[in-house]
Amino acid sequence: MPESSPSAQTRAHGVASVLLDEATIQGRIAELAAEMDEWYRPAPGQHPVPGGGEVPLLVGVLTGAVTFLTDLMRAMTVPLEIEFMAVSSYGASTQSSGVVRILKDLNHEISGRRIVVVEDIIDTGLTLQYLLDLLERRAPADIKVVALLRKHDKPGAVPVSVDLVGFDIPDEFVVGYGLDYAGHYRNLPYVAILNPAVFDEPSPTHEE
């Protein structure tokens, strides 16, 4: 366990192993950001105006993508804007159901905008498929998708087009770096696998 202080050990209660440590995540984010800068680099002498069609709009999918989006945008150097959507899939806390409801929509029109959907994880792909269908109907100039994590061997996953992936990971329940179990673990600075015994412990009453 990479935790030294007592409070950090408490934060990591139930962590079985670290899948991606902080340095590995940050190193990969620097690579992703450099590639994204190339997509959206303004022509020499061009100064994009706020809300202009050439300015990428990063759309973070709450809540898990917050950590990734905030690190990613600070690693990028082109002018950009951000917004958030909140969606929730019905069903048990460790599985996507495929039925998605919008809890918070975008604040502005995206017609003619260059959109980047920023996800923390693609598991079954159902959330992303739903979101892309929704956003495409709003006539953006284009949509790209960047995900920190993708489960490469998820049974029954739907094929969705992703432009950049940080890490392809096995089909394990992962937490940390924005990802939660029952609302906890989002503030771990690394991605970890939980000890299965955690799932048998009493959890907070709110539904995820």
Which residues participate in catalysis according to the annotation? 123
Q: Which amino acid is at 177?
A: Y
**Closest distance to ligand PRP from the beta carbon of 156 (Å):** 10
Helix (H) or strand (E) holding 72: helix 66-75
Nearer CB in complex with ligand PRP: 18/182: 182
Backbone φ and ψ of 120, nearest 5°: -80, -40
Residue closer to ligand PRP (CB basis): 125 or 166: 125
CB of 117 to ligand PRP, least distance (A): 10
CB < 8 Å & 24+ apart, contacts of 90-95: 93/181, 93/182, 93/203, 93/207, 93/208, 94/173, 94/181, 94/199
Q: Does 145 bind ligand PRP (CB under 6 A)?
A: no
Q: What gap in Å lies between CA 130 and CA 117, rounded to an integer?
A: 12
Contacts of 26 (CB under 8 A, 6+ apart): 71
**With binding defined as CB under 6 A, does residue 123 bind ligand PRP?**
yes
DSSP state letter for 198: G
CB of 151 to ligand PRP, least distance (A): 8
Confirm if 32 and 146 have CB atoms less than 8 A apart: yes
C-beta of 40 vs 60, nearer to ligand PRP = 60
> Does position 67 bind ligand PRP by CB under 6 A?
no
Single residue of 121, 135, 143, 174 touching ligand PRP by CB under 6 A: 121
In the complex, least distance from residue 62 CB atom to ligand PRP, rounded to whole angstroms: 6
Write the single-letter amino acid at 182: A
Stretch binding ligand PRP (CB under 6 A), from 47-55, 67-75, 110-118, 119-127 = 119-127
Tokens of 105: 């929509």
71 forms part of the interface with ligand PRP (CB under 6 A): no
Using rule CB under 6 A, residue 60 touches ligand PRP: no
Note the residues at the interface with ligand PRP (CB under 6 A).
61-65, 88-89, 96, 119-128, 180, 208
